[in-house]
Amino acid sequence: MVQEQLRQAPELFEPITDQAIIAQHRELIDLLMSVVFPRASWEQAYAAALIPFQLQTSYTTPHLNASDGDEDGPYACRMNTDGQTLAHVKILHAYAFILHKVYGLALDFDIP
């Protein structure tokens, strides 16, 4: 059933740059993401999938979507670090990803 639904949505096999595609296929996306975010925990879990190396969500659980937010939105976050440190951490994550995928090396580092 899932494979047939995916065959009917070839745009999900390409990089998604338009959030409208996710909205258009919300039921199928919910089904696929239930592997990571089980539906049994949707009523209690504040969870989100982030776009790699960015602080932008691509998918959130309904409980997180329904939570009260502030002027920045329902799932705004506050960082306890400055922008330069955050930029360096994002770069380190990118380098660590490349080292692991290309060279098979694991780089452990702690975020300040």
Task: Find, among 81, 93, 99, the residue nearest to 50 by Cα.
Answer: 93
9 and 37 inside one domain: yes
83 and 73 inside one domain: no
15 and 67 inside one domain: yes
Q: Which pTM value belongs to this model?
A: 0.58
- Looking at the structure of the chain, the number of domains it has is 2
8 and 61 inside one domain: yes
| Domain range enclosing 14 | 2-77
86 and 51 inside one domain: no
pLDDT tens by residue, 11-34: 999 988 888 998 899 899 989 988
pLDDT tens by residue, 63-79: 776 655 544 444 555 55
- CA dist 57 and 20 (Å) reads 14
50 and 101 inside one domain: no
